Amino acid sequence: MGEIVKSTEIEGLVFERNHFFDTGEGSRILIPSEGSLFTTIVYHAPKKNDEWSYPFFALHLSGDDKLTYINPPLNGGKIIGEFVDCRANSPTLHKRIRIEFDADPDVSLKIPAGVAHLFMNLAGVVTRNEPVLRWDPEPDKLFSPIADILNVSANAKDEEFPVVRPHRYVVPLSYHQYIASLHRKWSERVKVYPVRLVIKDKSYYIIPKEYGSNYVSKFTSNLSKNSI
Protein backbone atom coordinates (compact mmCIF):
# COMPACT_ATOMS: atom_id res chain seq x y z
CA MET A 1 0.00 0.00 0.00
CA GLY A 2 1.18 3.50 -0.81
CA GLU A 3 1.29 6.47 1.50
CA ILE A 4 -2.24 7.34 2.59
CA VAL A 5 -3.05 11.00 2.04
CA LYS A 6 -6.66 10.88 3.22
CA SER A 7 -8.95 8.21 4.63
CA THR A 8 -12.74 8.00 4.42
CA GLU A 9 -15.50 6.56 6.58
CA ILE A 10 -15.40 3.32 4.56
CA GLU A 11 -12.59 0.96 5.50
CA GLY A 12 -9.98 0.69 2.75
CA LEU A 13 -11.43 3.50 0.62
CA VAL A 14 -8.50 5.91 0.70
CA PHE A 15 -6.52 8.46 -1.27
CA GLU A 16 -2.86 7.49 -1.77
CA ARG A 17 0.10 9.52 -2.96
CA ASN A 18 1.30 8.80 -6.50
CA HIS A 19 4.91 8.52 -7.61
CA PHE A 20 6.00 10.98 -10.28
CA PHE A 21 8.83 12.99 -11.80
CA ASP A 22 8.57 16.75 -12.21
CA THR A 23 9.19 17.79 -15.81
CA GLY A 24 8.45 21.48 -15.48
CA GLU A 25 5.99 23.79 -13.79
CA GLY A 26 2.82 21.81 -13.29
CA SER A 27 4.03 18.96 -15.51
CA ARG A 28 4.35 15.34 -14.41
CA ILE A 29 5.50 11.92 -15.50
CA LEU A 30 3.39 9.50 -13.48
CA ILE A 31 5.16 6.35 -12.31
CA PRO A 32 3.22 3.07 -11.88
CA SER A 33 2.01 2.61 -8.33
CA GLU A 34 3.35 -0.02 -5.98
CA GLY A 35 1.54 -3.29 -6.69
CA SER A 36 0.17 -1.98 -9.99
CA LEU A 37 0.48 -4.50 -12.80
CA PHE A 38 -1.28 -2.82 -15.72
CA THR A 39 -3.02 0.45 -16.54
CA THR A 40 -6.11 1.61 -18.42
CA ILE A 41 -6.95 5.18 -19.44
CA VAL A 42 -10.53 6.49 -19.57
CA TYR A 43 -11.66 9.73 -21.23
CA HIS A 44 -15.08 11.07 -20.26
CA ALA A 45 -16.25 12.94 -23.36
CA PRO A 46 -18.38 16.04 -22.69
CA LYS A 47 -22.12 15.80 -23.19
CA LYS A 48 -24.81 18.47 -23.24
CA ASN A 49 -24.18 21.24 -20.71
CA ASP A 50 -20.76 19.71 -20.01
CA GLU A 51 -22.36 17.11 -17.75
CA TRP A 52 -21.03 13.58 -17.31
CA SER A 53 -22.34 11.26 -14.64
CA TYR A 54 -22.79 7.52 -14.34
CA PRO A 55 -26.44 6.36 -14.17
CA PHE A 56 -25.53 3.28 -12.09
CA PHE A 57 -23.29 2.29 -9.23
CA ALA A 58 -20.59 -0.14 -10.33
CA LEU A 59 -19.56 -3.05 -8.13
CA HIS A 60 -16.59 -5.34 -8.83
CA LEU A 61 -15.82 -8.59 -7.03
CA SER A 62 -12.51 -9.63 -8.60
CA GLY A 63 -10.45 -6.46 -8.49
CA ASP A 64 -9.59 -3.24 -6.68
CA ASP A 65 -9.70 0.03 -8.61
CA LYS A 66 -7.01 2.66 -8.20
CA LEU A 67 -8.05 5.85 -9.98
CA THR A 68 -5.98 8.93 -10.72
CA TYR A 69 -7.91 11.98 -11.97
CA ILE A 70 -5.49 13.71 -14.32
CA ASN A 71 -7.35 16.96 -15.00
CA PRO A 72 -10.35 18.86 -13.60
CA PRO A 73 -13.84 18.79 -15.13
CA LEU A 74 -14.59 21.29 -17.90
CA ASN A 75 -16.76 23.34 -15.54
CA GLY A 76 -13.86 23.64 -13.10
CA GLY A 77 -15.85 22.16 -10.23
CA LYS A 78 -15.16 19.22 -7.97
CA ILE A 79 -15.63 15.56 -8.82
CA ILE A 80 -18.42 13.93 -6.81
CA GLY A 81 -18.29 10.30 -5.72
CA GLU A 82 -20.85 8.14 -3.93
CA PHE A 83 -19.81 4.87 -2.33
CA VAL A 84 -21.59 1.99 -0.60
CA ASP A 85 -19.69 -0.76 1.22
CA CYS A 86 -21.17 -4.11 0.16
CA ARG A 87 -18.51 -6.42 1.68
CA ALA A 88 -20.02 -9.09 3.89
CA ASN A 89 -17.28 -9.06 6.52
CA SER A 90 -16.54 -5.35 6.52
CA PRO A 91 -16.99 -3.32 9.73
CA THR A 92 -18.50 -0.60 7.53
CA LEU A 93 -20.99 -2.86 5.69
CA HIS A 94 -23.67 -0.78 3.93
CA LYS A 95 -22.03 2.45 5.02
CA ARG A 96 -22.92 5.01 2.35
CA ILE A 97 -20.90 8.17 1.83
CA ARG A 98 -20.68 11.04 -0.64
CA ILE A 99 -17.43 12.92 -1.10
CA GLU A 100 -16.34 15.83 -3.28
CA PHE A 101 -12.72 16.20 -4.30
CA ASP A 102 -10.44 17.98 -6.74
CA ALA A 103 -8.77 16.21 -9.64
CA ASP A 104 -5.12 15.81 -8.69
CA PRO A 105 -2.56 13.77 -10.65
CA ASP A 106 -0.41 13.53 -7.52
CA VAL A 107 -2.88 11.26 -5.70
CA SER A 108 -5.04 8.24 -6.52
CA LEU A 109 -8.31 6.94 -5.10
CA LYS A 110 -8.21 3.28 -4.07
CA ILE A 111 -11.60 1.52 -4.19
CA PRO A 112 -11.53 -2.00 -2.72
CA ALA A 113 -13.37 -4.82 -4.45
CA GLY A 114 -16.87 -5.01 -3.01
CA VAL A 115 -17.35 -1.24 -2.61
CA ALA A 116 -19.98 0.10 -5.03
CA HIS A 117 -19.09 3.43 -6.60
CA LEU A 118 -20.70 6.12 -8.72
CA PHE A 119 -19.15 9.36 -10.03
CA MET A 120 -20.59 12.67 -11.18
CA ASN A 121 -19.20 15.79 -12.86
CA LEU A 122 -16.59 14.00 -14.99
CA ALA A 123 -17.03 15.88 -18.29
CA GLY A 124 -13.64 16.18 -19.97
CA VAL A 125 -11.81 14.31 -17.20
CA VAL A 126 -9.11 11.75 -18.02
CA THR A 127 -8.58 9.01 -15.45
CA ARG A 128 -5.83 6.46 -15.05
CA ASN A 129 -6.95 3.15 -13.53
CA GLU A 130 -4.43 0.67 -12.14
CA PRO A 131 -6.66 -2.29 -11.25
CA VAL A 132 -5.38 -5.04 -9.00
CA LEU A 133 -7.05 -8.31 -10.02
CA ARG A 134 -8.06 -10.99 -7.53
CA TRP A 135 -9.09 -14.64 -7.63
CA ASP A 136 -11.02 -16.93 -5.31
CA PRO A 137 -11.56 -20.70 -5.48
CA GLU A 138 -15.04 -20.15 -4.03
CA PRO A 139 -16.38 -17.01 -5.74
CA ASP A 140 -19.49 -15.23 -4.56
CA LYS A 141 -22.68 -16.37 -6.31
CA LEU A 142 -23.10 -12.89 -7.85
CA PHE A 143 -19.70 -13.01 -9.54
CA SER A 144 -19.77 -13.30 -13.34
CA PRO A 145 -16.62 -14.49 -15.17
CA ILE A 146 -18.12 -13.01 -18.34
CA ALA A 147 -18.06 -9.43 -17.06
CA ASP A 148 -17.01 -8.58 -13.52
CA ILE A 149 -19.41 -5.73 -13.02
CA LEU A 150 -22.67 -5.57 -11.12
CA ASN A 151 -24.68 -2.39 -11.57
CA VAL A 152 -27.09 -0.92 -9.03
CA SER A 153 -29.46 1.96 -9.72
CA ALA A 154 -28.23 5.39 -8.67
CA ASN A 155 -31.55 5.78 -6.85
CA ALA A 156 -31.31 2.51 -4.92
CA LYS A 157 -31.93 2.58 -1.18
CA ASP A 158 -29.25 1.31 1.18
CA GLU A 159 -31.06 -1.97 1.82
CA GLU A 160 -31.27 -2.66 -1.94
CA PHE A 161 -27.51 -3.02 -2.28
CA PRO A 162 -26.26 -6.62 -2.26
CA VAL A 163 -24.00 -8.16 0.35
CA VAL A 164 -21.06 -9.82 -1.40
CA ARG A 165 -17.80 -11.58 -0.65
CA PRO A 166 -15.06 -10.19 -2.91
CA HIS A 167 -12.24 -12.36 -4.17
CA ARG A 168 -9.49 -12.75 -1.59
CA TYR A 169 -6.24 -13.45 -3.44
CA VAL A 170 -4.23 -11.11 -5.68
CA VAL A 171 -3.28 -12.88 -8.91
CA PRO A 172 0.33 -12.88 -10.24
CA LEU A 173 1.78 -10.56 -12.85
CA SER A 174 1.46 -13.19 -15.59
CA TYR A 175 -2.33 -13.28 -15.17
CA HIS A 176 -2.58 -9.48 -15.29
CA GLN A 177 -0.62 -9.58 -18.53
CA TYR A 178 -2.94 -12.28 -19.88
CA ILE A 179 -6.04 -10.20 -19.09
CA ALA A 180 -4.46 -7.13 -20.71
CA SER A 181 -3.80 -9.16 -23.88
CA LEU A 182 -7.43 -10.34 -23.92
CA HIS A 183 -8.66 -6.76 -23.56
CA ARG A 184 -6.69 -5.81 -26.67
CA LYS A 185 -8.25 -8.68 -28.62
CA TRP A 186 -11.78 -7.97 -27.37
CA SER A 187 -11.49 -4.27 -28.22
CA GLU A 188 -11.11 -5.19 -31.89
CA ARG A 189 -14.55 -6.84 -31.91
CA VAL A 190 -16.45 -5.46 -28.92
CA LYS A 191 -16.89 -1.68 -28.82
CA VAL A 192 -19.15 -1.09 -25.84
CA TYR A 193 -19.18 -2.59 -22.36
CA PRO A 194 -22.65 -3.66 -21.19
CA VAL A 195 -24.51 -2.74 -18.04
CA ARG A 196 -25.12 -5.88 -15.95
CA LEU A 197 -28.15 -6.08 -13.67
CA VAL A 198 -29.06 -9.06 -11.49
CA ILE A 199 -32.77 -9.65 -10.92
CA LYS A 200 -33.84 -12.70 -8.94
CA ASP A 201 -30.38 -14.28 -9.33
CA LYS A 202 -30.44 -13.93 -13.13
CA SER A 203 -28.03 -11.65 -15.03
CA TYR A 204 -29.27 -9.21 -17.66
CA TYR A 205 -26.85 -7.39 -19.98
CA ILE A 206 -28.00 -4.02 -21.32
CA ILE A 207 -26.45 -2.20 -24.29
CA PRO A 208 -27.54 0.70 -26.56
CA LYS A 209 -30.00 -0.62 -29.14
CA GLU A 210 -27.98 0.81 -32.06
CA TYR A 211 -25.44 -1.97 -31.50
CA GLY A 212 -27.99 -4.61 -32.49
CA SER A 213 -29.88 -7.36 -30.72
CA ASN A 214 -27.10 -9.93 -31.10
CA TYR A 215 -24.40 -7.72 -29.60
CA VAL A 216 -24.61 -9.09 -26.06
CA SER A 217 -24.31 -12.68 -27.27
CA LYS A 218 -21.27 -11.62 -29.31
CA PHE A 219 -19.80 -9.91 -26.23
CA THR A 220 -20.40 -12.82 -23.88
CA SER A 221 -19.13 -15.32 -26.45
CA ASN A 222 -15.85 -13.45 -26.84
CA LEU A 223 -15.36 -13.21 -23.08
CA SER A 224 -16.63 -16.58 -21.89
CA LYS A 225 -14.45 -18.62 -24.23
CA ASN A 226 -11.39 -16.87 -22.80
CA SER A 227 -12.44 -17.01 -19.13
CA ILE A 228 -11.08 -19.35 -16.50
Q: 154-173 pLDDT, tens per residue?
A: 999 988 999 999 999 998 88
Tell me the one-letter amino acid at 188: E
Give the pLDDT score at 115. 98
- To the nearest whole percent, how much of the chain has pLDDT over 90? 48
Summarize the confidence of residues 123-148 as an average pLDDT.
90
Range with the lowest mean pLDDT among 5-14, 28-37, 53-62, 131-140?
Answer: 28-37
pTM (2 decimals)?
0.84
DSSP 87: B
Range with the lowest mean pLDDT among 69-83, 134-148, 204-218?
Answer: 204-218
pLDDT bin (cut points 50, 70, 90) of residue 62 is very high
Range with the lowest mean pLDDT among 183-187, 189-193, 215-219?
Answer: 215-219
pLDDT bin (cut points 50, 70, 90) of residue 217 is low
Report d(CA 95, CA 145) in Å as an integer: 27
Collapse the DSSP code of 119 into the 3-class scheme (helix H, G, I; strand E, B; otherwise coil) and give the result: strand
Strand order in 150-153's β-sheet? 96-101, 79-85, 115-120, 56-59, 150-153
pLDDT bin (cut points 50, 70, 90) of residue 212 is low
Residue extents of the structural domains in the chain: 4-224
Range with the lowest mean pLDDT among 2-6, 37-41, 48-52, 107-111?
Answer: 48-52
- Segment holding 215, helix H or strand E: helix 215-224
Q: 12-59 pLDDT, tens per residue?
A: 999 999 998 988 877 888 888 877 777 888 998 887 665 678 889 999
Q: Which residues contact 216 (CB under 8 A, 6 or more apart)?
A: 194, 205, 207
Whether residue 187 is predicted with pLDDT greater than 90 in this model: the reply is no
Pick the CATH number of 4-224 from 3.30.470.20, 1.20.1080.10, 1.10.1040.50, 2.60.120.10: 2.60.120.10
Contact predicate 15/2, CB 8 Å: no
In angstroms, how far is the first alpha carbon of the chain from the final one?
A: 28
